[in-house]
Chains A and B, each alone.
Chain A
């Protein structure tokens, strides 16, 4: 694919994102669904930062996602009623947790990396589940909502106006996507690709593999907790399901469905997954069954994802 056609596709993508709340209704959706696509898309992109560009599979990213959602809710509920500070607290909490757990697991690879990430994710689930007085336990953290953002010259009423919240999320999403692109184009990002392609060779070139994987893991957790914070704010609520390992699996399937070798793949995957899940769960109670079949079909017949189809054999 040459430069011009890439530019045109990117322009179309951003145009679609900018107008999503308006055309979502036409395809049977609603503004909240559009916001959910962006938020879960960001989470899937954070997973893909590791999976697609570093070559390690984290099956436990719901932990950092959910931690972000809880941190933003708890900050607004118990500390300061400010959306901005809540997001900051969420990102700090998620990144710190990622740094700590990342240090324990960087030596593992492949399926063991996946297994340990998913198991550690459960710690946060049980804390949220058991620490009822603070987290609300199984019922979730209620009694808070996102606060209007005061920009000095104007006030964004993101609580009452869900389109306004969509555009705030889109702005944050754009910043995050830009940051991720820059990171991947930097020498650091290129080194990650080298590790993905051939770890042994990269090691012989003198690259400190463990350090690079750790940094990539922490960066990925940063974006995952940011997405989690936005998710908590979207629902004005959060519960232990935002931390559960099934959500981690959903992030990975979004990345694979969209195409894990491409930067925008996870967003495309998230859009398909979110809309499909919304549709199936409105049609039948047994939506889990169909989502499960969907997983199996993707693995068997569609392993390279939607964007993988366009890239041809070189991908």
Chain B
């Protein structure tokens, strides 16, 4: 029983790490530009497929290194060509635009790579269990948790210690003031979007190794990411991270006792949080809702 609980909690942690990685990217973009990027799941899928194309040439490790930046590059282009037209307008329009993009992405990936699931090769030594007693602890799963941790630490390092990060954080509070102080806001928003998409691409490569590759791979991750943001607290990246991990673990443990409710439980959690603390667990007081 203990092992079962451990197994599911760990599984939940991994899923939660995906939610967190997705949600952090979404959160970054929302905080600076008030754009809900529905197409985030589409970018995730794109990252996974790009890695799939790269593996025969550069191997798994090369793909893991190169695919996320390529995805981020595509993100930069999409922001420049389409999304920037929505800044300063009713948020409705950016929602609809990125909503349309999810349709385009999903159909385009299906058209290019087919609807069926594709095999995604991860090095063999990563796939074997570490110890026989904890059979679920394959190297890949552990590796994923570690990698997500590194990515998150890297993100917080960028935000807190680099000039770009500080500008992003300042822009989140008052973009107009940042602009007046001589920062090129257009570039800032562009790079911020790219950073968010980089995280989506990374999540895509990792998810493909665990779940296999299909055009709808991002679909099942986007809604929980929204929940992670709401539960964790609007405007707080630490909250988003916590929210993602929390709903992952809770959903994992629910699988043991009430498997058919494992998806619905996270929405119940969201309802509870909204009831007790509408601004979310780590949401800042007075944050504009």
**Interface residue B135 (Cβ < 8 Å from any Cβ of A):** no
The reply to whether B234 and A122 contact each other, CB–CB distance below 8 Å, is: no
**Interface residue A123 (Cβ < 8 Å from any Cβ of B):** yes
Complex interface residues of chain A between 103 and 148 (CB less than 8 A to chain B): 104-105, 107-112, 114-116, 118-120, 122-123, 126-127, 130-131
**Interface residue A16 (Cβ < 8 Å from any Cβ of B):** no
Complex interface residues of chain B between 63 and 108 (CB less than 8 A to chain A): 82, 85-86, 89, 91-93, 95-97, 99-108
The reply to whether B289 and A104 contact each other, CB–CB distance below 8 Å, is: no
Quick one: which of B108, B227, B260, B264 contacts A289, CB cutoff 8 A? Answer: B108
The reply to whether A122 and B223 contact each other, CB–CB distance below 8 Å, is: yes
Quick one: which of B89, B100, B275, B289 contacts A295, CB cutoff 8 A? Answer: B100
Which residues of A have CB within 8 Å of B223? 118-119, 122, 245
Separation of A19 and B143 alpha carbons in the complex (Å): 65
Residue among A109, A119, A298 with max Cβ neighbours from chain B (10 Å):
A119
Residue among B100, B105, B227, B261 with max Cβ neighbours from chain A (10 Å):
B100
The reply to whether B95 and A57 contact each other, CB–CB distance below 8 Å, is: yes
Q: Which residue of B lies closest to A116 (CB)?
A: B230
Separation of A126 and B227 alpha carbons in the complex (Å): 15
Complex interface residues of chain A between 258 and 299 (CB less than 8 A to chain B): 286, 288-289, 291-296, 298-299
Quick one: which of A101, A110, A291, A293 contacts B91, CB cutoff 8 A? Answer: A110
Which residues of A have CB within 8 Å of B86? 299
The reply to whether B34 and A110 contact each other, CB–CB distance below 8 Å, is: yes
Q: Which residue of A lies closest to B223 (CB)?
A: A122
The interface size bin for chain B is 35 or more
Known: A115-B36, A119-B270, A130-B260. A292 touches B93 (CB 8 A): no
- B28 → A minimal CB distance (Å): 14
Quick one: which of B93, B97, B111, B274 contacts A286, CB cutoff 8 A? Answer: B111
Known: A116-B274, A130-B263, A289-B104. A298 touches B289 (CB 8 A): no
Which residues of B have CB within 8 Å of A295? 96-97, 99-101, 103
The secondary structure that dominates the A interface is helix
Known: A111-B34, A126-B264, A299-B93. A104 touches B100 (CB 8 A): no
Which residues of A have CB within 8 Å of B275? 104
Separation of A253 and B289 alpha carbons in the complex (Å): 24
The reply to whether A118 and B226 contact each other, CB–CB distance below 8 Å, is: yes
**Interface residue B229 (Cβ < 8 Å from any Cβ of A):** yes
- A295 → B minimal CB distance (Å): 3
Known: A118-B223, A123-B267. A51 touches B92 (CB 8 A): yes
- A259 → B minimal CB distance (Å): 13
The reply to whether A131 and B270 contact each other, CB–CB distance below 8 Å, is: no
Separation of A298 and B100 alpha carbons in the complex (Å): 10
Known: A57-B95, A122-B223, A299-B93. A288 touches B106 (CB 8 A): yes
The reply to whether B267 and A256 contact each other, CB–CB distance below 8 Å, is: no
Quick one: which of B89, B92, B97 contacts A296, CB cutoff 8 A? Answer: B97
- A216 → B minimal CB distance (Å): 17
Quick one: which of A59, A104, A289 contacts B107, CB cutoff 8 A? Answer: A289
- B235 → A minimal CB distance (Å): 10
The reply to whether B230 and A292 contact each other, CB–CB distance below 8 Å, is: no
**Interface residue A252 (Cβ < 8 Å from any Cβ of B):** yes
Quick one: which of A57, A118, A130, A286 contacts B92, CB cutoff 8 A? Answer: A57
Q: Which residue of A lies closest to B97 (CB)?
A: A299
**Interface residue A303 (Cβ < 8 Å from any Cβ of B):** yes
Q: How does the 8 Å CB contact mask read for B97-134 relative to A, with 1 for contact and 0 for none? A: 10111111111101100000000000000000000000
Which residues of B have CB within 8 Å of A294? 100
**Interface residue A27 (Cβ < 8 Å from any Cβ of B):** no
**Interface residue A8 (Cβ < 8 Å from any Cβ of B):** no
Q: Which residue of B lies closest to A100 (CB)?
A: B271
Which residues of A have CB within 8 Å of B226? 115-116, 118-119
Which residues of A have CB within 8 Å of B260? 130-131
Which residues of A have CB within 8 Å of B139? none
Complex interface residues of chain A between 62 and 118 (CB less than 8 A to chain B): 101, 104-105, 107-112, 114-116, 118
The reply to whether A107 and B278 contact each other, CB–CB distance below 8 Å, is: yes
Separation of A109 and B287 alpha carbons in the complex (Å): 12
Separation of A256 and B89 alpha carbons in the complex (Å): 14
**Interface residue A29 (Cβ < 8 Å from any Cβ of B):** no
- A166 → B minimal CB distance (Å): 29
**Interface residue B151 (Cβ < 8 Å from any Cβ of A):** no
Separation of A123 and B262 alpha carbons in the complex (Å): 11
Which residues of A have CB within 8 Å of B110? 286
Chain B positions near chain A (C-beta within 8 angstroms): 30, 34, 36, 38, 82, 85-86, 89, 91-93, 95-97, 99-108, 110-111, 223, 226-227, 229-230, 234, 260-261, 263-264, 267-268, 270-271, 274-275, 278, 289
Q: Which 8 A-B residue pairs are closest in the complex by CB-CB distance?
A: A295-B100, A292-B103, A292-B104, A289-B107, A288-B107, A292-B100, A130-B260, A299-B97
List 30 A–B pairs whose Cβ atoms lie within 8 Å, in order of A's numbering: A57-B92, A57-B95, A101-B271, A110-B34, A110-B91, A110-B289, A111-B30, A111-B34, A111-B91, A114-B36, A114-B91, A114-B95, A115-B36, A116-B230, A116-B270, A118-B223, A119-B230, A120-B270, A123-B264, A126-B263, A127-B264, A130-B263, A252-B95, A253-B96, A253-B99, A253-B100, A286-B111, A292-B104, A294-B100, A299-B86
